Structure 1
Amino acid sequence: MLFSEAQEAFKKHLIYREMSGETVKGYMKDLRCFNRYMTDVYNGAIYVEDITTDDIEEYMHYLLDERELAPRSRNRYLFSLRSFLNYAVKKQWVEHNVASEVDPVKVMEEKKVALTEEEIDELLATIKHKIVKFSVAFLYYTGMRVNEAHNITFEDIDNERNRLLVNGKGKKQRYIPIAKSLKPHLENYLTNIRGPIDSPYLLATKKTGRLSAGYINYELHRATKELGWDKNVTCHALRRSFATNLLRKRVDVFKISKLLGHSSIKTTTVYLQLNENELQTDIDKL
């Protein structure tokens, strides 16, 4: 089967499994990159059954030497190919998954960033863009994924029950209570900042009717640099800070997991980041 035809079938499979739009888009982007590479190498369309382990190893070298991608990014391309070829095996287009024979690149563990409450206050005080400042507060006080916050509409705000309806991964919905600390930010934003923008989305600009994660991350980087912090603060770091600060306040990890929308508590533990001083304080209680 032609690679391009198999890719379209795989896309339908992912949609059938109700994978998120961003996940499907990511897989298709990775597979198109591999298809272009193979088409250039063999000067023509490729068939799934003709792909070899050597092809994939050479592709991984290409991603390193020509594209100069970081180890984590190269692994993502490899894992996308593995998933695609696993599907090809199930459909009996190929006998085995040749990508499974290629070892992933070793990735150095990056230090996870979790800001303290004091650092969150400093960050908010430094951000000049008013809509972004509210967005940062909104992300931190709700613990939402940035894509979840990006899609919050006014209909999702339930003032009577003091909660937000969140559409999470895999079309799973959950409610998040509106924190007392978020309320003044939300009221100020709706009254004085957002204005009459013709958009159903809470996080919106007059120009586009939406606020992108890229722009929030840009402003976070700028503010971090101004503060002189040697840490990579992103939208995802705000979600980790939300979880970690709740843990610091002795909130049960199962409740934190539910607020984050995790299906497994193991996933939640990845987000929790306590420093050595806090661990020392805890162990001294013995």
Structure 2
Amino acid sequence: MEWEHHLRFSLRRSPHSIRAYIATAHRLVTFLAQHRGEIIDKAALHTLNLAEMRAYLAERRQSGLANNSASREISAIRAFLTFAGVDPLPALKGPRLKKGVPRPLSPQDAVSLAKEVSEDAAQPWIEARDLALLLLLYGSGLRIGEALSLKGDQFPFGAILRVTGKRSKTRLVPLLEKVRAALEHYVQLCPFPLAAETPFFFGAKGGPLSADVIRRNVRKARYQLGFDNKVTPHALRHSFASHLLGRGADLRSLQELLGHASLSSTQIYTAVDAARLLDVYRAAHPRAEREP
């Protein structure tokens, strides 16, 4: 398929991005074929108008597409239409994301981000490293500095991980089985031996892994996925906290898991969860648009 070849060799997208972009192209063509009642070829794509784009996105939103995912969908469509030679592109704008309150990634988007970063790695062991690291940030709510401060002699890990946070304060965090499996896979592929004096996460040349490397990789991945520019490694920690709160965790327990010195630092997540609930309310309640 020409589109897949273009993504793989011209744009050098990761395997995860290629799958997502191809799926989006198939969805768009299928929608247009049903909408117009005709076969959609390259010439038909050149007649795509803004109303049809809005109708397609509305159908996707009705199926549960979230804001971040909608932005990614639009980004993939623009890339596909550009490849097809459509010029000018329909001027469809992405959904607005409110500023000020950190917006958590969905569990699916958090995993997609980790996979996107890892699949772009140059070597299999670095792919395993990046996936394990980002899953650890999301699965256990670590700061990136805390993850990178782990030492080789802490491995093998159990169900509980001891972490040293700000002001050298230690805490215990849960380690999910899938996260632990990813960490073990990284160790199996890593070419550098773990020891008491070595970091757990190695850089490409065997020294300590730099947080800037991961931040740069996440910036690239969020662009490829169409995520908001607030999606950073720290956003995975925000997502961990917000999802726990949404599932009934109390603030005091969340404070301990995050390593916050004061409860006030944790209370921002009540605003995050309230914002999520408000989004659900506005989308579902028949009179929501008329509420102040």
TM-score range, shorter chain: 0.5 to 0.7
**Number of the residue aligned with 1:226:** 224
> Which residue of structure 1 aligns with residue 49 of structure 2?
none
Structure 1 distance, partners of 2:169, 2:151, is: 16
The answer to whether the aligner puts 1:179 opposite 2:169 as a matched pair is no
- Specify whether residues 113 and 246 from structure 1 end up closer, same or farther in structure 2 by C-alpha distance, changes over 3 A only: same
> May I ask how many residue pairs the two structures share in their alignment?
177
Query: Do the aligned partners of 2:161 and 2:172 also contact (CA within 8 Å) in 1?
Result: yes
Q: Which amino acid aligns with 1:221?
A: R
Distance 1:202 1:282 in 2: 44
Q: Evaluate the alpha carbon distance shift between residue 180 and residue 219 of structure 1 in structure 2; reply closer, same or farther with a 3 A threshold.
A: same
Q: 2:185 is matched with which residue: 175, 188, 197?
A: 188
Gaps in structure 2 of 5+ consecutive residues: 1-98, 122-126, 285-292
Letter in 2 for 1:243: A
Change beyond 3 A, Cα 1:196–1:156: closer
Cα distance between partner residues in 2 of 1:124 and 1:270: 25
The code of the aligned residue for 2:273 comes to: L
Say if 2:103 is the partner of 1:113: yes
User: Matches of 2:193 and 2:101 in 1, distance apart?
Assistant: 41
Q: Which residue in the other structure is 1:239 paired with?
A: 237
Structure with higher RCO (Cα < 8 A, 6+ apart): 2
Aligned residue in 1 for 2:114: 124
2:91 is matched with which residue? none
2:136 to 138, 142, 158: 138
Post-superposition shift, 1:181? 3.1
Kindly indicate whether the alpha-carbon contact (under 8 Å) linking 1:220 and 1:234 is maintained by their aligned counterparts in 2: yes
CA deviation after TM superposition for structure 1 residue 208, in Å:
4.4
Shift of 1:243: 0.5
**In 2, distance between residues paired with 1:259 and 1:156?**
19
Match among 147, 163, 166 for residue 169 of structure 1: 166
Give the superposition deviation at 1:110: 3.5
1:207 corresponds to which of 202, 205, 224:
205
Task: Say if 2:215 and 2:233, in contact at 8 Å, map to a contact too.
Answer: yes
Shift of 1:279: 3.4
Structure 1 residues 137 and 212, CA gap change in structure 2 (3 angstroms): same
- In structure 2, the partner of 1:265 is 263
Q: TM-score, normalised by structure 1?
A: 0.54
Change (3 A) 1:280 1:225: closer
Give the aligned residue type for 1:134.
A
Q: For residues 103 and 242 of structure 2, what CA distance do their matches in structure 1 show?
A: 10
Give SS of 1:250's match: coil
RMSD: 2.9
Is contact 1:221–1:232 with CA below 8 Å preserved after alignment? no
| Alpha-carbon distance in 2 for matches of 1:263, 1:201 | 26
- The alpha carbon displacement at 1:205 in A equals 2.0
Residue pair 1:197, 1:204 contacting (<8 A) in 2 also: no
State whether residues 142 and 242 of structure 1, in contact with CA within 8 Å, keep that contact through their aligned partners in structure 2: yes
Please say if residues 165 and 176 of structure 1, whose CA atoms lie closer than 8 Å, have aligned partners that are also in contact: yes
Q: Equivalent residue for 1:274? A: 273
Question: Percent identity of the aligned residues?
Answer: 28
Q: Could you give the per-residue CA deviations for residues 126-157 of structure 1, whole angstroms, max 9, x where no partner exists?
A: 11221222211121112112211111113334
**Corresponding letter in the other structure for 2:132:** F
Query: Aligned equivalents of 2:112 and 2:248: distance in 1?
Result: 23
